[in-house]
């Protein structure tokens, strides 16, 4: 949603997303894949936790989700040549997660 909202506002997220490659605009396909691919194992993990530890499954899943969310922020932080739009949007998300 952030990518489409930024695009509608005329903000392009440009950066060197692959090391050694020229800077390019972030497209919808990489964003969709990076959202869908982790969702499948996450759903499977949630189902397993409900079976194994039904009373604590939400807490355990929440802790695991927080850890993976924080680890996933390492990728965007290391993008070289990130455009101002990408920095502003990333900063807004970071501030929201940090509770500021």
* Mean pLDDT value across the chain: 79
> Which letter does DSSP use for residue 27 in this model?
P
pLDDT digits (tens, 9 = 90+) for 18-30: 777 787 777 788 8
More confident residue, 32 or 55: 55
Residues 76/88, Cβ–Cβ less than 8 Å: no
Most confident range (mean pLDDT) of 1-10, 22-31, 43-52, 85-94 is: 43-52
pLDDT digits (tens, 9 = 90+) for 36-51: 888 999 999 999 999 9
Structure tokens at 95: 């501030």
């Amino acid at each position: 949603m952030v990518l489409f909202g930024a695009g509608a506002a005329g903000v392009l997220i440009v950066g060197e997303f692959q090391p050694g490659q020229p800077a390019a605009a972030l497209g919808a396909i990489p964003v969709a894949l990076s959202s869908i691919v982790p969702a499948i194992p996450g759903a499977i993990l949630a189902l397993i936790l409900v079976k194994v530890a039904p009373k604590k499954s939400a807490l355990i899943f929440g802790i695991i989700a927080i850890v993976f969310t924080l680890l996933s922020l390492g990728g965007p932080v290391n993008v070289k040549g990130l455009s101002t739009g990408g920095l502003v949007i990333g900063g807004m998300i970071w501030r929201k997660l940090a509770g500021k």
